[in-house]
Amino acid sequence: MIRLASVCAPLTAALVLFATVGCDDGSAGSDPAESLDDLGTSVPDAAFAAPDGALAEPVDATPDAAPPPVPFVEPAPATDLDAADGIVELNLTASAALVSVSDDLRYSGLAYNGQVPGPTLHATVGDTLVVHFTNDLDEPTTVHWHGLRIPDDMDGNPRIQHPVQPGESFTYRFTLPDAGTFWYHPHVRSNEQVEKGLYGAIVVHDPADPRPDAERVLILDDVLVDGRGALYPFLTSHPEQMHGRHGNVLLTNGRAEPEPGEARVGQVERWRVINTANARTMVLSVQRARMRVVGTDGGALTAPYTTDRLLVAVGQRYDLEISYDRAGAAHLVSHVPVVEGDEVVEQAVSVYKVNVRAADATPPELEWPARAPIEREPDVDAELRFAVRNGPRGLEWTINEQAMPMEPLMTFEQGQTVTLTLRNLAGPEHPFHLHGQFFEIVPDGRPETEQPGLKDTVLVPGLSTVTVRAYVDNPGRWMAHCHILEHAELGMMGEFIVNPAE
Ligand code: C2O
Ligand code: CU
């Protein structure tokens, strides 16, 4: 298992370093520093985490049916209760659970339908999703559908939806307007509820997409456990309040030591990567396979691109086309900053491995339907300033000089194109998230901004400014907050309004 002996200040410009509490037991079972330059079979399996789950059973094709579904490797899917086309209906229950992330690490946490991550929800763009949600926790909760542009009263925003009380139920019902990779999680005390295990993937299929040989959902996370393997207490340490909760165990699909995937040379897959960590920005690369970025938070790109390193802020998603062009082990590698003595060094840690069998074949390049670029001139400006201060109860994170502002931060008219300036006046970074809308990041050369495509979350590095162009097309009352869940909980969460067009 990857137990990071000392964790892991984000490598921000300010390079604030700290040793995370609770991870001083030096219990790394294998050396995660194992060089990945040599990615052959010599890399010990125990150094890697990969998702569990085998290829889905092939489904018998009925005479004139569509081709069989592309096999999925993923957290187990939800069961669709409604056989009708166009409606995906399921039961979803949040409850306490003993969460088992490896054979020797279990802790008391939370789960949707008894599994962590929760069931993967599959639907096709345009479908109606009906989720009968039951709260079996001993505290209130809601379900937020991160990235979906749905009506605001279905968004799990606790300022609109009265949170679901223990023992109560609520039915979420909405139409899925966009294809892509999304996720769901609570929006009440989310720093605790998400860390404890309440998160899952939503895959909205586009029938126009090419068919890869397989798809994989890869939910990347971390958890912070103490020396006895229990979740470390929440928001008690200054580093956690300052930088968010950085875990000392990396998880892929809820497992620290899951099964490697299987493929063969010549195959092409689609990987849907989601960063559900509370705070950890991930820098990823794919080794010993070819990779193209084909989608992001808001779905398909106007043009796929290749890159050596992918910066994935918490909340963000990337869809990758993975082509197996050689036999051996292909890896998804997380480049993790760790404290070594007085220094922060980067360790390459494989967080997922696919064993690729030899075959005499060349992977084809998939043809993705081109998405037209959006050509809208900005017609309104807004600015949000992020800062930190000491409040009566400790550290407070502020937006425009207020912690947890109750008055709307901004008001727009539906259909406007907003030049939104995000000014970070403090050292720690903020992955900033808007509900219910997409935006594009205005590139300025920094990796945080060289992220083409529609997004709902953008990383704003310390002591710097990032500008986005937001398409505020979905009317309602929406949240705007930092997706470092500790920052949100400590005040960095407010609301904006989009007035409906006449
Ligand atoms: Cu995933 Cu309000 O966020
Ligand atoms: Cu933040």
Closest alpha carbon to 480 in 425, 414, 405: 405
Residue 317 CB less than 6 A away from ligand 1: no
- Which one of the ligands is nearest to 147 CA? 1
Q: Model's pTM, two decimal places?
A: 0.89
The token duo for 87 is: 């409606």
| CB distance 414 to 151 below 8 Å | no
Strands 128-136 and 169-175: antiparallel
What is the three-class DSSP state of 421? strand
Please report the atom of ligand 1 found closest to the CA of residue 147.
Answer: 1
Neighbours of 341 (CB within 10 A): 7
The confidence score (pLDDT) of residue 65 equals 54
Interval between CA 313 and ligand 2 midpoint (Å): 11
Cα 372 to the center of its chain, rounded Å: 25
Ligand 1 atom showing the smallest separation from residue 183 Cα: 1
Distance 446 CA to ligand 1 centre (A): 24
Polymer length in residues for the chain: 502
**Least confident piece of the model among 25-34, 94-103, 244-253, 288-297:** 25-34
CB of residue 144 inside a 6 A radius of ligand 1:
yes
CA 103/CA 23 separation, integer angstroms: 19
Task: Answer yes or no: are the C-beta atoms of 374 and 215 closer than 8 Å.
Answer: no
Neighbours of 177 (CB within 10 A): 13
Which tokens is 432 given? 């900033």
Least confident of 67-76, 154-163, 219-228, 480-489: 67-76
User: Contact at 8 Å (CB) between 220 and 252?
Assistant: yes
**Among protein residues, the one whose CA lies closest to atom 1 of ligand 1:** 146
What per-residue confidence (pLDDT) applies to 277? 98
Tell me whether the CATH fold assigned to 21-43+213-357 matches the one assigned to 72-205: yes
CATH superfamily for 380-499 is: Cupredoxins -  blue copper proteins (2.60.40.420)
For residue 36, what pLDDT is reported? Answer: 43
Domain 72-205: which CATH class?
Answer: mainly beta
- In tens, the pLDDT along 336-390 reads 999 899 999 999 999 999 999 999 999 999 999 989 999 999 999 999 999 999 9
pLDDT in tens, 391-429: 888 899 999 999 999 999 999 999 999 999 999 999 999
Name the maximum alpha-carbon separation found in the chain: 69
Q: Which atom of ligand 1 is nearest to the CA of 187?
A: 2
Collect all residues with Cβ–Cβ distance below 8 Å to 326 and sequence separation of at least 6.
265, 288, 289, 356
Q: Does 117 contact ligand 1 (Cβ within 6 A)? A: no
Q: Residue 260 pLDDT > 60, yes or no? A: yes
What pLDDT sits at residue 60?
38
Q: How large a percentage of the chain has pLDDT more than 70? A: 86
- Helical segments of 5-123, H only: none
Q: What angle do CA 201, 202, 208 make, to 5 degrees?
A: 130
Whether 462 contacts 446, CB under 8 Å: no
Query: What residues have CB less than 8 Å from 145, skipping those under 6 apart?
Result: 154, 155, 156, 172, 174, 182, 184, 202
Residue 41 Cα to ligand 1 midpoint, Å, equals 39
What pLDDT, in 10s, does the model give residues 287-333?
A: 999 999 999 999 999 999 999 999 999 999 999 999 999 999 999 99
| CATH top class, domain 21-43+213-357 | mainly beta
Helix (H, G, I), strand (E, B) or coil at 313: coil
Residue 99 scores a pLDDT above 80: yes
Q: Which two tokens stand for residue 306?
A: 């290749």
Cα separation, 492 vs 432, whole angstroms: 9
Q: What is the dihedral of CA 172, 177, 179, 182, to 10 degrees?
A: -40
Nearest atom (ligand 1) to Cα of 479: 2
Ligand having the closest approach to the CA of 487: 2
**CA dist list (Å): 311 to 275, 296, 360, 425:** 10, 12, 34, 22
Tokens matching residue 8: 């892991």
Contact of 50 with 353, CB cutoff 8 Å: yes
Ligand 1 contacts CB of residue 491 (under 6 A): no
Q: Which residues surround ligand 2, an ion (CB under 5 A)?
A: 430, 482, 484, 487
- Between CA 301 and CA 296 the distance in angstroms is 7
**Sequence spans of domains, the chain:** 21-43+213-357, 72-205, 380-499
Rounded to whole angstroms, the Cα distance separating 453 from 431 reads 16
Find out whether the beta carbon of 315 lies less than 6 Å from any atom of ligand 1: yes
pLDDT band of residue 69 (cuts 50, 70, 90) is low
d(CA 352, ligand 2 centre) in Å? 28
Beta bridge partners of 344: 339
Residue type, 179: A
In this predicted structure, which of 59-73, 292-306, 457-471 has the lowest mean pLDDT? 59-73
Query: 479: Cβ below 6 Å to ligand 1?
Result: yes
* DSSP classification of residue 45: G
Tell me what pLDDT residue 348 has: 97
Model confidence at 230: pLDDT above 80: yes
- The answer to whether the CB of 114 falls within 8 A of the CB of 200 is no
Residue nearest to atom 3 of ligand 1 (CA): 146
Q: Residue 494: CB within 6 Å of ligand 1?
A: no
